[in-house]
Chains A and B, each alone.
Chain A
Amino acid sequence: MMTGIIFSNIYDTALGVLSANRTVASLPFGGRYRFIDFTLSNMVNSGVRNIGVITKYNYQSLMDHLGSCQEWDLNNKNDSLYIIPPFASGRSEVYRGKLEALHTSINFLKSQKSQYVLLSDTITICNIDYREVLEEHIKSGADVTLIATKPANYTDDHVVVVEADSDNKATKITLNYPASEKALVGMGMFIMDREILIKEVEEAVADGFFHFEKDFVQKKFNLGTLNINIYEFEDVVLRNKDISTYFKNNLSLLDEKVRKGLFKKNSPIYTKVRDEIPSYYGENSVVNECVIADGCKIEGFVENSIIFRDVKIAEGVQIINSVIMQGTKIAKDAYIENAILDKNVTITEGIRLIGASDNPVIIKKGETV
């Protein structure tokens, strides 16, 4: 079948203070999840059961989250998750891009028996069945299948913009460029032959190249030596390329269509179990349009917000359009609008925090306001 490779640190800088002390992969999302929960659950639900997670730095929180991986059913004899730290192979330095990152995991890749490899970053959130993609990949006979989707907009730059013909064969690839009407944008997910990947990575790194999309995908495509199949994924895709989209994507869970696209009965998203009690709604609580996790105590007013586990919201508090992460406590009469409160933040009585809907106020992990 397929071996999975997850890049846990790619795009770390894009998410600013939120990823200052954690890998992007362990960024909290949607009340009870981390980014990597979606990537891992999609793989596991698609039968990809040997997975390497490539790390660079700050991976303590990620390791803590993954633990023995039993939540993803990966603590079996034959199925396993391997955390691959940066200096896994002899001659590598801390990597600069996905090609070098893959080079640190070359021994892992060589030890695998599967014919195909699935590569994925963690900033793209969706619920996808990779079995279907693999089937299409095999049918196409292409060297690489690039998973893509309709762009969220036609103004921003996208990491990978592709155009394809009616046989889904790529005809044009541009990087860091706005998408045209007929183009799709890459989801940071690729399927290819394992042996070919190993060979390409070894050659590219020997030549001093490190950027997977630029130095391998685009370059070889332009040289005419790489056949690329485009798989268009048509369900919900949330790509978290910066803090503002991260904020928007969290709040988009209030849309039933988005929830239905991400949470499916037959392909559940797994996460670390924390054994919190159900959430308690007090005598004066008012909750309008919210997603709320376990273990919370809500006595105040909350609207259009995502509330993670074990959050305390005291009486007289008003929370509007905000993302409140695990373990945060908000004391009486505070007013919070357009804000991201990271884990274990304490907001004292009567504090007012007001951000803009495209530029939320961010309070860092563990801080007291």
Chain B
Amino acid sequence: MLDRQKECIAMLLAGGQGSRLLVLTEKTAKPAVPFGGKYRIIDFPLSNCVNSGIDTVGILTQYQPLELNDYIGNGQPWGLNRNFGGAHILPPYAQSKKMEWYKGTANAIYQNLSFVENYNPKHVIILSGDHIYKMDYKKMLKYHIKNNAECTIAVRDVPMAEASRFGIMNTNEDGSIYQFEEKPANPKSNHASMGVYIFKWEILRKYLIEDEADTTSDNDFGKNIIPALLRDGRRLFAYTFDGYWKDVGTISSLWEANMDILDGQFNLKDKNFKIFARNYAQPSSYISASSDIKHSFVAEGCTVKGKVKHSVVSTGCVIEEDVEISDSVIMPGAVIKKGAVIKYAIIGEGVTVEENCKIGDNPEYFDKDSWGIAVIGKGETVEKNTIIRPNEVI
């Protein structure tokens, strides 16, 4: 095995609970949350890997892993069913002397040192399963190698006014990082970390082992590993990514990201950089004469008989007559019955909305603090004539 070596393998942190996504992640890990009509969040980092020539991905799961395990399967939908490499689900496991949950992002990788060593990689890219973006990691790896960096951190330039909400990388002119500030009150620059890191494996390995030995550490990349590398004067570089990127960690950002694909902010259609997803053998959609679909995405397996405006209707949904849907995200398999009116809402997977319900409303009728996206959690049934107010979560 030792003579076989991978240039770069990926470790995808998919264990997060995503508690800010409320009911949407009550029964599902955040990376398995549906997005864009037929995808799940994890399709984006996985497809990025495949489109970047990375064929080995360790997927670290912990919270509600069943659905995610099932979804990933043998990795075939992404072309990650490989003889040497491919997709591997890595849950925490019992070792001879101890058994523990992943304590932090760094500890999750530490507990899987032997997985990484199987592939004897030169570099390891650390990814997270809660961002929507298309990125060619190959370019970043090239930059990393050219700089002979020990760690390269992907950053994107955010408006200076917002910089205090992010982890900010302060860089020299050559792109090397001299300082990392987590949510600085007075930011010196606007290079926000995307949570995508490439490490030389030998360096990461050394720091993970040292970090594990430090009982006071939170075992976290941002809080511990990166600061430790900086402290030791290691070669850290920032790689600027200027494409679309969105952290979909909250209801409003998840909704916005769905709207961004409608409004052309984020283009999913690219023959040379496809986003792959598991497919569920649904027939083509039937669109009736009573339908009225404007400025919307409708995936396969749907029956649409009502009005849909500026919305995303996912795989296998039924939209009956006299339904009005606008500015909303309807997740896979939802059934919306006659007369329902849905505005500014996220309807979870497999939800049934009975007749004449009203869910959500336009922001202009409400004051700013009381308004928000209405959310119906996975598998719920909304009884006839129910009114669900904006910001309400069922």
A residues bordering B, Cβ < 8 Å? 30-32, 70-71, 253-254, 256, 259, 262-263, 268-271, 273, 275, 277-295, 303, 306-308
Q: Is the CB of B299 within 8 A of A32?
A: no
Indicate which residue in A270, A277, A284, A303 contacts B38 across the interface (CB closer than 8 Å): A277
Q: Is the CB of A293 within 8 A of B294?
A: no
Q: Which residues of A contact B291 (CB under 8 A)?
A: 287-288
In the complex, residue of chain A having the shortest beta-carbon distance to the beta carbon of B289:
A288
Q: Is the CB of B281 within 8 A of A270?
A: yes
Indicate which residue in B277, B283, B293 contacts A31 across the interface (CB closer than 8 Å): B283
Q: Is the CB of B287 within 8 A of A282?
A: no
Q: Is the CB of A281 within 8 A of B275?
A: no
- What's the nearest-Cβ distance from chain A to residue B231, in Å? 44
B288 close to chain A: CB less than 8 A: yes
Q: Is the CB of A277 within 8 A of B37?
A: yes
Q: Is the CB of A291 within 8 A of B284?
A: yes
B279 close to chain A: CB less than 8 A: yes
In the complex, residue of chain A having the shortest beta-carbon distance to the beta carbon of B308:
A281
Inter-chain pairs besides A275-B277, A281-B298, 7 sampled, C-beta below 8 Å: A32-B283, A273-B279, A280-B297, A281-B293, A281-B296, A290-B287, A306-B284
Q: Is the CB of B300 within 8 A of A271?
A: no
Q: Which residues of B contact A291 (CB under 8 A)?
A: 283-287
B384 close to chain A: CB less than 8 A: no
Q: Is the CB of A268 within 8 A of B281?
A: yes
Q: Which residues of B contact A286 (CB under 8 A)?
A: 292
B199 close to chain A: CB less than 8 A: no
Q: Which residues of A contact B298 (CB under 8 A)?
A: 278-279, 281, 292
B274 close to chain A: CB less than 8 A: yes
Q: Is the CB of A259 within 8 A of B283?
A: yes
A277 vs B38: C-alpha distance in the bound complex, in angstroms? 8
A327 vs B288: C-alpha distance in the bound complex, in angstroms? 23
Can you list 5 A-B contacts with CB-CB less than 8 angstroms, sorted by A residue number? A70-B76, A268-B280, A269-B281, A282-B294, A292-B284
Q: Is the CB of B287 within 8 A of A292?
A: yes
Q: Which residues of A contact B279 (CB under 8 A)?
A: 71, 273, 275
Q: Is the CB of B275 within 8 A of A275?
A: yes
Q: Which residues of B contact A254 (CB under 8 A)?
A: 286
B276 close to chain A: CB less than 8 A: yes
Indicate which residue in A70, A288, A294, A303 contacts B299 across the interface (CB closer than 8 Å): A294
B interface, how many residues as a size bin? 35 or more
B113 close to chain A: CB less than 8 A: no
Q: Which residues of A contact B121 (CB under 8 A)?
A: none
8 A-B pairs with least C-beta separation: A31-B284, A278-B37, A278-B299, A288-B289, A268-B281, A281-B293, A278-B297, A293-B284
Indicate which residue in B38, B76, B77 contacts A278 across the interface (CB closer than 8 Å): B38
Indicate which residue in A259, A263, A285 contacts B294 across the interface (CB closer than 8 Å): A285
Indicate which residue in A284, A288, A295 contacts B288 across the interface (CB closer than 8 Å): A288
Q: Is the CB of A287 within 8 A of B287?
A: yes
A169 vs B241: C-alpha distance in the bound complex, in angstroms? 73
A152 vs B295: C-alpha distance in the bound complex, in angstroms? 41
In the complex, residue of chain A having the shortest beta-carbon distance to the beta carbon of B267:
A277
- What's the nearest-Cβ distance from chain A to residue B117, in Å? 30
- What's the nearest-Cβ distance from chain A to residue B309, in Å? 9
B251 close to chain A: CB less than 8 A: no
Given A32-B300, A275-B275, A277-B269, A287-B284 contact (CB < 8 Å): no
Q: Is the CB of A30 within 8 A of B284?
A: yes
B268 close to chain A: CB less than 8 A: yes
Q: Which residues of A contact B300 (CB under 8 A)?
A: 32, 278, 293-294
B312 close to chain A: CB less than 8 A: yes
A30 vs B281: C-alpha distance in the bound complex, in angstroms? 13
In the complex, residue of chain B having the shortest beta-carbon distance to the beta carbon of A259:
B286
In the complex, residue of chain B having the shortest beta-carbon distance to the beta carbon of A268:
B281
Q: Is the CB of A282 within 8 A of B295?
A: yes
- What's the nearest-Cβ distance from chain A to residue B304, in Å? 8
Given A273-B77, A288-B288, A278-B36 contact (CB < 8 Å): yes
Q: Is the CB of A269 within 8 A of B283?
A: yes
A79 vs B285: C-alpha distance in the bound complex, in angstroms? 31
A259 vs B281: C-alpha distance in the bound complex, in angstroms? 14
Q: Which residues of B contact A287 (CB under 8 A)?
A: 287, 291, 293
Q: Which residues of B contact A292 (CB under 8 A)?
A: 284-285, 287, 298
- What's the nearest-Cβ distance from chain A to residue B264, in Å? 10
In the complex, residue of chain A having the shortest beta-carbon distance to the beta carbon of B274:
A275
Q: Which residues of B contact A270 (CB under 8 A)?
A: 281
A303 vs B291: C-alpha distance in the bound complex, in angstroms? 12
Q: Mark B289-331, 1 if CB is under 8 A from A, else 0.
A: 1011111111110000000100011110000000000000000
Q: Is the CB of B275 within 8 A of A271?
A: no
In the complex, residue of chain A having the shortest beta-carbon distance to the beta carbon of B297:
A278
Q: Which residues of A contact B277 (CB under 8 A)?
A: 275
Please provide the chain B residues from 205 to 235 with a CB less than 8 Å away from any CB of chain A in the complex.
none
Q: Which residues of B contact A289 (CB under 8 A)?
A: 287-289
A292 vs B291: C-alpha distance in the bound complex, in angstroms? 13
Please provide the chain B residues from 120 to 157 with a CB less than 8 Å away from any CB of chain A in the complex.
none
Q: Is the CB of B77 within 8 A of A280?
A: no
Q: Which residues of B contact A288 (CB under 8 A)?
A: 287-289, 291
Q: Is the CB of A283 within 8 A of B297?
A: no
Q: Is the CB of B294 within 8 A of A283?
A: yes
Q: Which residues of A contact B37 (CB under 8 A)?
A: 277-278
- What's the nearest-Cβ distance from chain B to residue A257, in Å? 12
- What's the nearest-Cβ distance from chain A to residue B71, in Å? 15
Q: Which residues of B contact A282 (CB under 8 A)?
A: 294-295
Q: Which residues of B contact A285 (CB under 8 A)?
A: 293-294
Please provide the chain B residues from 5 to 28 with a CB less than 8 Å away from any CB of chain A in the complex.
none
A283 vs B292: C-alpha distance in the bound complex, in angstroms? 10
A286 vs B294: C-alpha distance in the bound complex, in angstroms? 8
- What's the nearest-Cβ distance from chain B to residue A37, in Å? 10
Indicate which residue in A263, A275, A290, A295 contacts B283 across the interface (CB closer than 8 Å): A263
Q: Which residues of A contact B276 (CB under 8 A)?
A: 275
A262 vs B283: C-alpha distance in the bound complex, in angstroms? 10
A280 vs B289: C-alpha distance in the bound complex, in angstroms? 17
A32 vs B281: C-alpha distance in the bound complex, in angstroms? 10
Indicate the member of B283, B293, B312 with the most A CB atoms within 10 Å: B283
